[in-house]
Chains A and B, each alone.
Chain A
Amino acid sequence: MDDKREPDGIVLTEAQKKSRRERSIAIALALGVLVVLFFAVTLVKGPAVLVRPM
């Protein structure tokens, strides 16, 4: 591997890297909340989780 090779393509600025990281963490947290929510409701509803009245 040649570590000294110049990076190809787009090089992000520090501000762009920081905001991208912020957004990634927010998306991860939102997905985590969604998973916990579905898990909690499954526990609450028990077998009735498959009953979804109109």
Chain B
Amino acid sequence: MSVVDHSAIELSPRISEAGVADYIALLKPRVMSLVIFTALVGLVLAPGHFHPVLAFTSILCIAVGAGASGALNMWYESDIDALMSRTANRPIPRGRITRPEALTFGMTLAFFSVMTLGILVNWFAGALLAFTIFFYVVIYTIALKRWTAQNIVIGGAAGALPPVVAWAAATGSLSVEPLLLFLIIFFWTPPHFWALALFRSDDYARAGVPMLPVVAGPDATRLQILLYTIVLVAVAFAPWPLGYFDAVYGVTSLLLGAAMLALAVNVYCRREGTEARRATRKLFAFSILYLFALFATLLLEVVARALAPLIW
């Protein structure tokens, strides 16, 4: 008598019931929307004329590349996603999509996004997009995330690259401006994610992910949030006095920076109870608004400059 009924296994292959919505969830649509927005800003800031069809193609490829990174991230992290309340509802832990399906989906999207950007726009941008996907999946997700508390500091580079890719798509080269946008997102990432990690530290501890609050404790994390916020505010303000962005951006950056700094100080000072949790959540929510408003200001400046000759 056989312990395992092999005939039953052979006759019952898993047949997917995953719908389009499950595959869209694999793309991390909320992250993708921020990627599209920051890439759009990189694109409109780039000098010279860029045909709208090529601009649309570039943004589409960058968005699909970001989605591919999200799918590959969920493929690799399905074991820890199942352990955390924030991620337990993702398609793989829920059993809607299998790991091989997610891997195939992610690799297919990564291939097509890079090849399409390379063939239709330019290979420099295509190579940068390939590097971004590689950095997010291999360097951040596979190598760093489960190994070091500095995971999101180094891994943040992947999230900061979309405006650089967009600039490269428009110009075929790089310049100081896209690197400034890169630095703003790079230094924005630690306070943003550590604020999240502070109120989700139980989740991360259960999953064995060495986020800073789990490894170094909440107080050390609060100090790091404050220090990175100071650097962020300075980096975000610098382009104005350096002459890269206009006064409207400079003043907006100062006002937003002051609010961000005040919230980071609040997180640093309030360390116990509901007040502390509320301060952390406020900083997390405001950090999203901060980055959005900063980039929206740059976008509006370009639009206003383009429309000014038509109005006056």
Q: Are A and B interaction partners? A: yes
Instruction: Judge whether A53 and B124 touch: CB under 8 Å.
Output: yes
One of A12, A38, A53 near B15 (C-beta < 8 A)? A12
Majority secondary structure, B binding face:
helix
Q: Type the 1/0 row for A10-23, where 1 means its CB is closer than 8 Å to any CB of B.
A: 10100110111011
Instruction: Judge whether A53 and B123 touch: CB under 8 Å.
Output: yes
* Cβ < 8 Å to B, chain A residues 29-47: 34, 37-38, 40-41, 44
List of B residues within 8 angstroms of A53 by Cβ: 122-124, 172
Q: How many whole Å from A16's CB to the nearest CB in chain B?
A: 5
Q: How far is the CA of A16 from the CA of B14 in the complex (A)?
A: 11
List of B residues within 8 angstroms of A41 by Cβ: 53-54, 57, 120
Majority secondary structure, A binding face:
helix
Interface residues on A, range: 10 to 19
Instruction: Judge whether A19 and B18 touch: CB under 8 Å.
Output: yes
One of B15, B112, B123 near A16 (C-beta < 8 A)? B15
Q: How far is the CA of A28 from the CA of B17 in the complex (A)?
A: 18
Chain B residues close to A by CB (< 8 Å): 13, 15-20, 23, 51, 53-54, 57, 60, 112, 116, 118-120, 122-124, 172
- In addition to A12-B15, A26-B20, A41-B53, 18 A-B residue pairs with Cβ atoms within 8 Å of each other are A10-B13, A16-B17, A18-B19, A19-B16, A19-B18, A23-B18, A23-B19, A23-B20, A23-B23, A26-B23, A37-B57, A40-B53, A41-B54, A44-B51, A52-B118, A52-B123, A53-B124, A54-B122
